[in-house]
Amino acid sequence: MSGKNDEKVRTIPFVRQGKKLTVGEIPEITAYEAGFLTVTNASWRTETPVCDRNRCNGCLNCYLYCPEGCVYRDGNTGKIDIDYDFCKGCGICAKLCRKGAITMEKHGK
């Protein structure tokens, strides 16, 4: 697992794209898509959460608990997707998913 997924939802400038932001591009608030202004932290991960979309019912419990805010909703299916550039692999989402839809896959197997 690596790299960006679903570029179409990324319409705003990101630090990961190497864009330098002006003051005017800084939001007034601290609610934005994951990684708008931070460097990626994917390298922290030793396990990767993978979502079984057949099980996911889009309840977004994982979003509420994700400490990196890197869970988002797929506009087409209403189910969740994960921004792996910013997922640190903590596994909280997998632990509390009531549908058992998320499993942690160990790296280097």
| Half-sphere CA count of 57, side-chain side, radius 13 A | 6
Judged by CB under 8 A, the chain residues 65 through 84 that form the site for another protein are 68-73
Distant-in-sequence, close-in-space partners of 18: CB < 8 Å, separation ≥ 6 = none
Identified binder of another protein from the candidate list 4, 38, 90, 103, rule CB under 8 A: 38
Least distance (Å) between residue 103 CB and another protein: 21
Q: Does 11 bind another protein (CB under 8 A)?
A: no
82 versus 94: smaller Cβ distance to another protein: 82
Closest CA to 35 of 91, 88, 96, 85: 85
For residue 63, give both structure tokens: 């979003």
Catalog residues that contact another protein under the rule CB under 8 A: 15, 21, 23, 26, 28-39, 60, 63-64, 68-73, 86
